[in-house]
Structure 1
Amino acid sequence: MTSPNERQLVALVQANLPYDTRLFQQLITPYLPTLKGYCVKLLNNLPDAEDVVQETIIKVLAHLKTFKWAVSFKAWLFKIAHNECINKIRDRRWDSIEPSDEYLENLIADENNNEDLATSLSGLLMHLSFADRNIMLLRYRTELEFKEIADICHLKLSAVKMRHKRVIAFLQQTLKT
């Protein structure tokens, strides 16, 4: 017997909730490492990220009965996680004012030439604005399409593509030096 695809699994979970959560676990488990990694990188804080992942799972479980296929399950899951990350930031009363677009020009890459590329990129990502870091993480960590990212971030598709292009150009320029 073949295992059900995502759409079939969601339908099975919806039919069996709230009494049987085994299928829910089967549905959500493949996304957990990526979800946790996304939250850790976005929040720069492991305990907060773990809290957000738990809150996301609880919200998905609570609202899965009403889930409609307007977007993919994965995009819906990460939209909930995105909103929970924003809530966590608000709870911590962080300064949520976005820096101007010129902030990229002011970032200086670590001068340690012994760092590998992944470490350098990770360090640079932490200095990006929340919006830019979120777009890059959703694109490359979760492999979502630009349209899905625009929906999650409440931005126009053109704005997401422009921010992505600007960050890529900044990273390329910074890593050349």
Structure 2
Amino acid sequence: MYFRQCNLSQGVLSINASKSERLDYGSTHKELVQACAAGDRKAQFELYRLYSQAMYNICLRMLNDQEDAEDLLQQSFIDVFLKLDSFRFESSIGAWIKRIVVNNCINFLKKRRLTIQSLDDERMGGFSENPDDDLHESHLGVKEVKNAISQLPDGYRVVFTLYMFEGYDHKEIADILNITEATSKSQYSRAKKKLRELLGGRKYAGA
């Protein structure tokens, strides 16, 4: 799992990946993938076992609903197995699966009328990603931070999740969501601002 450090005004968001998410995104698992594409059910189960928990966590972070996350996970792996013939081993299989999962989550949210306001739609001040803007640092508790993230509006949460947890840069996020790079940056900045408000300036011990 990719992770960025996010400085908030009253602390540093620091959530480590669980063992189930520490995947080898550098591996194509070529023999396993070829066996899956050939219809080997044991190989398909093994690929699912390797990546399902991490992909479920992505779904849950993006959709903020356990049942929706479970449904999207199953649909995503159906898509994975149907599309395996198109995988050309030019990237890791984990990154390829993750892109399918992320795209499915985005499509689901768009059907639910995901709202991401353009930078031009709001007359707000500038945004900054400079860590020096945040003066006081402490580690925030995992449960408190996850709860705060779950309360973000969909648009804020999706951009924050893609940037913070999934490792996409703002240009990639803009391409995925069909928005401008400036809008992605502004949504991320506003997500951080909202998190500060939700966390109420409290300091938590790091997990």
TM-score, normalisation: structure 2: 0.57
SS, match of residue 6 in structure 1: coil
Q: Is 1:75 aligned with 2:95?
A: yes
Aligned length: 156
Please give the alpha-carbon distance, in whole angstroms, between the structure 1 residues aligned to 2:180 and 2:91. 16
- Larger helix proportion of the pair: 1
Please give the alpha-carbon distance, in whole angstroms, between the structure 1 residues aligned to 2:177 and 2:97. 13
Please give the alpha-carbon distance, in whole angstroms, between the structure 2 residues aligned to 1:136 and 1:128. 9
Q: How does 1:1-177 map to 2 (within 5 A)?
A: 6-7=27-28, 9=29, 11-16=30-35, 17-69=37-89, 71-89=91-109, 94-98=112-116, 117-142=141-166, 144-146=167-169, 149-155=173-179, 159-172=183-196, 175=199, 176=201
CA offsets, 1:51-85, max 9 Å, x none? 10000001011101102356543333222222322
The 3 A distance-change label for structure 1 pair 154 and 12 is: farther
The 3 A distance-change label for structure 1 pair 43 and 64 is: same
Task: Give the unaligned 5+ runs of structure 1.
Answer: 103-115
- Give the partner amino acid of 1:97: T
Task: Give the unaligned 5+ runs of structure 2.
Answer: 1-25, 123-139, 203-207
Please give the alpha-carbon distance, in whole angstroms, between the structure 1 residues aligned to 2:177 and 2:118. 18
Please give the alpha-carbon distance, in whole angstroms, between the structure 1 residues aligned to 2:83 and 2:190. 36
Higher relative contact order (CA 8 A, sep 6+): 2
What does residue 113 of structure 1 align with?
A: none
- Give the partner amino acid of 1:83: N
The 3 A distance-change label for structure 1 pair 51 and 123 is: same
SS, match of residue 97 in structure 1: coil
- Give the partner amino acid of 1:77: I
Please give the alpha-carbon distance, in whole angstroms, between the structure 2 residues aligned to 1:29 and 1:95. 32
Please give the alpha-carbon distance, in whole angstroms, between the structure 1 residues aligned to 2:182 and 2:96. 21
Please give the alpha-carbon distance, in whole angstroms, between the structure 1 residues aligned to 2:63 and 2:44. 26
SS, match of residue 39 in structure 2: coil
The 3 A distance-change label for structure 1 pair 28 and 140 is: farther
* CA RMSD, 1 decimal: 3.4
Please give the alpha-carbon distance, in whole angstroms, between the structure 2 residues aligned to 1:154 and 1:75. 20
The 3 A distance-change label for structure 1 pair 24 and 71 is: same
Please give the alpha-carbon distance, in whole angstroms, between the structure 1 residues aligned to 2:118 and 2:50. 37
Identity %: 25
Please give the alpha-carbon distance, in whole angstroms, between the structure 2 residues aligned to 1:76 and 1:55. 15
